[in-house]
């Protein structure tokens, strides 16, 4: 019922009471004992009703306010009756009857019927007593509607209140029933202290696999795995004894005999006059399955990680090792336990500070993958270290995975490869140079023979001069070849003027490949010196120049050599107008053993070595080529590398 309606109804009913009471007091034939009190009563009643008009509507839905109204009105009406004195006794009787009816009744309709019957009975009594038609009859008759209205008033109040409280009760009952039934956990209500099952919710029934009714008839201990009966018993005994809540992990038995693990919690619930135990349990089957799966995936991950023969470990932002693979343990001769929690640099570098070139430091700053090649002077090993960032869901870095690969052997092999390619190159060069030596050698022999047969001393002298010239030429060639073939140590680096090296390399190749004239265009700029191994740089240049000559075979060749300084690199260009490289080959030219020459003519290592050497110095090789028009290689060597020439290889 709406609050507004309730207020209006109550006010209307009260006005009706006031009017009737006024009539009874002032116009009834009965005598009023004390008119002043009567007036005061009427005034109080009217005044109270006027106050009610201004009271907020919400008050009318407050049960306490109702009680107050009932007490006030009952008191006032009783007072009014007392003051009207006449026939007070019968009035009291009727009034109390109404009160009883009203308070007993929970149904407004029924109350109205009963009050109607009562009013009729009263009318009948008046009639039978012969009071009707007498001089006081009007007052007596008027009592009938009074009874009726009063009944309606109290009845309405009572009914509203009971209805509301009932509604609330039903509402809260529904709410809790719903919670109870739909809970994700199994709930069993046990009576105190006999632990009889009083109620079971849907989830509990489902988990146990029994209809609710059957569960209700069981002993709670029988719901457990028979193997755990003892534990379950002691669990409950403890709970009943202490009266306190408890939790445990036990197994329940399903109807079909299958047992399943549950997280169990029990709590004593105290009501005013009763208490019971609430047993809540959660099925752990899914969680156990998940846990198993996590354990398995962890194990297989560890197996994979352990299977990697290179060292792999995870460290946090303070360089503390969190996880390691077997290779780390084997290489450091420490156990997993000894490794985890230690700082990376303590283990690997025997330092107290992070290594200055640690790629992890770089990853911490950039959140990017970083590489570094670090050589350990003590053990002579060279390691390539990579650090991979691990980000959380928000993209924050929380750890890095370090991958340490021992590249000592690889580097040694690479050095060997460079060296053997160089030897092969020397072989090719040597045969070319050998031809070149043959000319001055022929000159020496023929001139010596001529001198032997000559008598004129001055002619002999010119012949000897020729012989000396030829010998010097031979010497020059041999010296040049020797400087090229000198097998320089890997670490033997010096500041090189690339213009000079390029010029020397060209001479060397020109000695070896005597072709139809090739125009050589040199566009040399003054370039900064760069620190490198002379032999290796010569190897790069002679390889590329030789290739250029091969490409220009049978053509009017133009070899273009350029050098220039860019910001922090020296750029060397070696270009030809030869046959060019077919599009389909361009991606493969730097691959080892890729060659378009006939077997025996080329090793297929030339450009591969060029690439290896240049990248070793942190440089780059670019190639531009058009079939039929020529090829240009552009090499960029960085200048001013850090001391040992190692660099971040970010290919």
Kindly state the smallest distance separating residue 544's Cβ from another protein, in Å.
23
Instruction: Report the residue from 43, 423, 445, 521 that binds another protein according to the rule CB under 8 A.
Output: 445
Q: Which is nearer to another protein, 316 or 446 (CB)?
A: 446
- Residue for token digits 């070899």? 559
Q: Give the residue with the Cβ less far from another protein, 440 or 618.
A: 440
Residue of 412, 435, 476, 587 that binds another protein (CB under 8 A): 435
Number of residues in the chain: 651
Q: Does 450 engage in binding with another protein (CB under 8 A)?
A: yes
Write out the two tokens for 1: 């019922």
Within 10 angstroms of residue 269's Cβ, the number of other Cβ atoms is: 12
Contact between 446 and another protein by CB under 8 A: the answer reads yes
Nearest distance in Å: CB 515, another protein: 8
Applying CB under 8 A, among 434, 488, 558, 586 the residue interacting with another protein is 434
Q: What are phi and psi of 489, to 5 degrees?
A: -70, 155
Tell me the window of 406-414, 513-521, 539-547, 630-638 that interacts with another protein (CB under 8 A): 513-521
Residue 9 near another protein by CB under 8 A: no
Stretch that binds another protein, among 24-32, 125-133, 252-260, 444-452 (CB under 8 A): 444-452
- Cβ 581 to another protein shortest distance, Å: 27
Is 456 among the residues that bind another protein (CB under 8 A)?
Answer: no
Residue 514 touches another protein, criterion: CB under 8 A: yes
Listed residue (592, 645, 584, 590) closest to 619, CA to CA: 645
Distance CA 603, CA 357 (A): 37
Cβ closest to another protein, residue 132 vs residue 450:
450
Q: Which stretch binds another protein (CB under 8 A): 102-110, 463-471, 519-527, 634-642?
A: 463-471
Nearest to another protein of 442, 483 (CB atom): 442
Q: Does 439 interact with another protein (rule: CB under 8 A)?
A: yes
Question: What spatial distance separates the first Cα and last Cα of the chain, rounded to whole Å?
Answer: 80
Output the smallest distance, CB 469 to another protein, in A: 7
Contact call for residue 314 and another protein (CB under 8 A): no
- With CA atoms as reference, report the closest residue to 285 among 253, 257, 252, 261: 261
Nearer to another protein, 373 or 444 (CB): 444
Give residue 209's region: left, alpha or beta (phi > 0; psi -120 to 50): left
Is 32 in contact with 84 (CB distance < 8 Å)?
A: yes
Whole-angstrom distance, CA of residue 99 vs CA of residue 155: 9
> Which ranges of 559-651 would DSSP assign to H, the alpha helix?
606-616
Stretch that binds another protein, among 69-77, 79-87, 434-442, 635-643 (CB under 8 A): 434-442
According to the binding rule CB under 8 A, does residue 421 interact with another protein?
A: no
CA dist., res. 276 & res. 267, Å (int): 8
Sheet with 311-316, side-by-side order of all strands: 321-324, 311-316, 397-406, 381-391, 370-376
Cβ proximity to another protein, 299 vs 516, nearer residue: 516
306 vs 454, which CB is nearer to another protein?
A: 454
Rg of the chain over CA atoms, in angstroms? 56
Q: Cβ contacts of residue 360 below 8 Å, gap of 6+?
A: 315, 319, 344, 354, 370, 387, 400, 402
Q: Which of residues 516-575 bind another protein (CB under 8 A)?
A: 516-517
Nearest to another protein of 290, 478 (CB atom): 478
Q: Is the peptide bond before 193 cis (omega within 30 degrees of 0)?
A: yes
CA distance 186 to 282: 6
Would you count residue 471 as binding another protein (CB under 8 A)?
no
Residue whose entry in the numeric block shows the structure tokens 């001393």:
457
> Rounded CA gap, 524 and 415, in Å?
30
CB closer to another protein, 252 vs 512: 512
Q: Which of 134, 309, 420, 442 binds another protein (CB under 8 A)?
A: 442
Cα–Cα distance measured from residue 115 to residue 123, given in angstroms and rounded to the nearest whole number: 12
Task: Work out whether 438 is an interface residue with another protein (CB under 8 A).
Answer: yes
Question: Which of the ranges 6-14, 277-285, 437-445, 570-578 carries the binding residues for another protein, by CB under 8 A?
Answer: 437-445
Tokens of 183: 């809970």
We find the least distance from the C-beta atom of residue 647 to another protein, in angstroms, to be: 44
d(CA 478, CA 437): 8
From candidates 202, 389, 443, 645, binder to another protein by CB under 8 A: 443
Residues within the interface to another protein (CB under 8 A): 434-436, 438-447, 449-450, 453, 466, 469-470, 514, 516-517
């Amino acid at each position: 019922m709406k609050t507004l309606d309730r207020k209006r109804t109550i006010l209307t009913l009260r006005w009706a009471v006031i009017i009737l009471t006024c009539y009874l007091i002032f116009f009834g034939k009965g005598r009023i004992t004390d008119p002043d009190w009567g007036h005061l009563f009427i005034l109080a009643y009217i005044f109270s009703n006027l106050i009610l008009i201004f009271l907020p509507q919400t008050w009318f839905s407050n049960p306490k306010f109702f009680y107050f109204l009932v007490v006030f009105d009952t008191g006032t009406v009783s007072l009014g009756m007392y003051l009207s004195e006449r026939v007070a006794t019968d009035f009291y009787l009727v009034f109390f009857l109404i009160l009883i009816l009203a308070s007993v009744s929970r149904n407004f309709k029924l109350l109205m019927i009963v009050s109607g019957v009562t009013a009729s009975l009263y009318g009948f009594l008046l009639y039978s007593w012969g009071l009707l038609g007498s001089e006081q009859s009007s007052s007596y008759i008027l009592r009938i509607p009074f009874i009726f209205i009063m009944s309606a008033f109290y009845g309405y109040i009572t009914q509203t209140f009971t209805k509301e409280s009932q509604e609330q009760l039903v509402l809260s009952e529904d709410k809790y029933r719903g919670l109870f039934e739909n809970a994700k956990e199994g709930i069993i209500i046990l009576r105190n202290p006999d632990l009889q099952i009083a109620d079971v919710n849907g989830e509990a029934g489902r988990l146990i696999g029994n209809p609710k009714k059957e569960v209700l008839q069981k002993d709670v201990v029988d719901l457990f795995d028979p193997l755990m009966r003892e534990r379950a018993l002691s669990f409950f005994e403890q709970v009943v004894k202490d009266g306190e809540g408890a939790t445990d992990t036990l197994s329940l038995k399903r109807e079909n005999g299958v047992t399943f693990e549950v997280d169990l919690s029990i709590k004593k619930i105290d009501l005013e006059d009763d208490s019971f135990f609430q047993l809540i349990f959660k099925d752990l089957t899914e969680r156990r399955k998940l846990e198993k799966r996590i354990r398995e995936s962890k194990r297989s991950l560890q197996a994979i990680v352990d299977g990697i023969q290179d060292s792999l470990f995870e460290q946090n932002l303070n360089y503390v090792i969190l996880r390691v693979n077997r290779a780390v343990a084997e290489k450091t001769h420490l156990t997993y336990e000894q490794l985890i929690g230690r700082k990376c640099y303590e283990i690997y570098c025997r330092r107290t500070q992070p290594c200055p070139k640690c790629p992890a430091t770089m990853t911490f700053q950039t959140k990017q993958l970083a590489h570094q090649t670090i050589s350990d002077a003590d053990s002579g090993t060279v390691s390539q270290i990579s650090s991979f960032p691990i980000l959380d869901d928000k993209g924050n870095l929380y750890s890095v995975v370090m991958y340490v690969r021992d590249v000592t052997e690889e580097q040694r092999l690479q050095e060997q490869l460079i060296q053997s390619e160089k030897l092969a190159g020397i072989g090719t060069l040597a045969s070319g140079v050998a031809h070149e030596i043959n000319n001055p050698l022929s000159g020496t022999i023929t001139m010596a023979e001529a001198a032997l047969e000559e008598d004129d001393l001055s002619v002999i002298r010119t012949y000897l001069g020729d012989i000396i010239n030829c010998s010097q030429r031979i010497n020059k060639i041999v010296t040049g070849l020797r400087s090229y073939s000198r097998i320089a140590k890997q670490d033997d680096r010096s500041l090189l003027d690339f213009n000079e090296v390029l010029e020397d390399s060209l001479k060397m190749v020109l000695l070896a490949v005597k072709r139809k004239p090739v125009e050589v265009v040199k566009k040399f700029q003054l370039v900064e010196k760069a620190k490198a191994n002379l032999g290796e740089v010569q190897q790069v240049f002679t390889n590329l120049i030789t290739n250029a000559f091969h490409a220009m075979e049978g053509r009017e060749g133009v070899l273009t050599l350029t050098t220039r300084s860019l910001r922090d690199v020296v750029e060397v260009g070696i270009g030809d107008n030869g046959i060019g490289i077919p599009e389909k080959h361009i991606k493969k030219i730097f691959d080892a053993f890729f060659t378009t020459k006939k077997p025996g003519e080329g090793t297929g290592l030339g450009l591969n070595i060029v690439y290896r050497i240049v990248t070793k110095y942190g440089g780059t090789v670019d190639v531009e080529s058009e079939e039929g028009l020529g090829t240009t290689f552009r090499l960029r060597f960085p200048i001013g590398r850090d001391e040992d020439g190692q660099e971040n290889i970010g290919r």
